Amino acid sequence: MNSLLRRCFLYALAFLARLFARRHSAHPPARVLVIKPDHLGDVLLATPALSALRQVLPDSHITALVGPWARAALAANPHIDTLQMLPFPGFERQPSGARYALSIIQPYITLLRYALILRHAHYDTAIVLRDDHWWGAALALLAGIPRRIGYAVPECRPFLTDVLPWDRDEHVTVQGLRLVARLIDIKKDDRTASSFILHPSSFIPSASDAAWADAWLRSNEIAERRLVVIHPGTGGQSKLWLSERWAALGDKLIDISGCHVVVTGGPGEADLVAAVAGAMRDGATTLVGATTVGQLAALLARATLVLGVDSGPLHLAAAVGAPSLHLYGPGDDRRFGPWGDPQRHVVLRSGLWCSPCGVFSACPRSTRPSECMERITTRAVLAAAQQLLAAV
């Protein structure tokens, strides 16, 4: 469906849905639905908005609606009352063939189905945290939620009651905080709306997760060592750095700081982790696909430094307060970079003219590895890592 035709269809859908919407009440919202369809890293970047929301609405019931792939990010979040799952169409990360095999009307069937479910919950306010998520905005309207807050993206606008100006270069965490500010009528330029000091990203590992991390470190006889974690993997091939450079970096950090290196990876990243650890002169301890998100978070919290590319686990490191070094190429760190003290959470990028392009499956210019990542030198990463280690 081309852009103009789809936009006309969405405006027609919004017109029909408004016939069934409930009227907005002026009193403070009693039941708030926060919609965030993304994966681990982006949902962690939404946690400051949730803490700000709880701060201004201490007595309201707050529900976070996320994909099942992001459940772990908010399962223990203290600022929400209910965590609800919805398999948002388009966010499943299925192979492309499987995605195209789906019926073209399936997303709309899912939309109507969940709108009927949400209608029974009687929410009075919805906040659509992803700026371009027209499907979530339509869901809020079809669910009869009277007040619907989001951004002035053309496809989203007809479904919303409160629309903020859209800045495509603004950090997504700032966007979330601005939506909360709009809910309580704080002006955009209020300094508290974009403070990582007042509203940091957060993830709190459970006591059992912490116990697991301590036991794992003891079993590998590294509990007393200064720990550096390298997480080389990510969800997109074009975001990867060279495995031999990770290995060389690990060796240099061992020589300089006497640290012990742990190379971690998620399901499907065993070959990448083995390539990095196997190329290291002194070897490294590896941990691949054997942890929950909470266990990994507890391990990262014990690290002196965490290094990696644009990925969920690196945002997890920032959320637990571990100093972190993030290598960005096709991803836009202005919008999706780590949220926190820039002295503790550092971004490196090559500055190549075409970066960030936002294409993660493969470099659009067919460079492999991606030139924007290849141009990030081991020397530059080592210098930044040394600076972070010296500050700890």
Task: Tell me the mean pLDDT per 10 residues along the chain, length 392.
Answer: 68 66 73 98 98 95 98 97 96 60 77 96 96 97 96 95 94 95 69 64 97 98 96 96 98 96 96 97 93 98 98 98 98 96 96 94 91 97 98 86
**β-bridge mates for residue 65, sequence order:** 35, 84
Task: State residue 192's pLDDT score.
Answer: 46
Alpha helical stretches, state H, the chain: 3-18, 40-44, 47-56, 71-74, 96-101, 106-119, 134-142, 172-183, 207-219, 243-257, 270-279, 293-301, 312-319, 333-336, 371-374, 378-391
Task: State residue 53's pLDDT score.
Answer: 96
The set of residues, in sequence order, having a beta carbon less than 8 Å from that of 102 and lying 6+ positions away, is 89
Closest Cα to residue 227, out of 287, 312, 309?
A: 287
Model pTM score: 0.92
Give me the residue spans of the domains in the chain: 3-194, 207-391
Q: Do domains 3-194 and 207-391 have the same CATH topology?
A: yes
For 207-391, the fitting CATH number among 3.40.50.1010, 3.40.800.10, 3.40.50.2000, 3.40.50.12170 is 3.40.50.2000
Cα separations in angstroms, 218 against 215, 299, 310: 5, 12, 30
Q: How many residues does the chain have?
A: 392
Instruction: Write the CATH number of the domain with boundaries 3-194.
Output: 3.40.50.2000
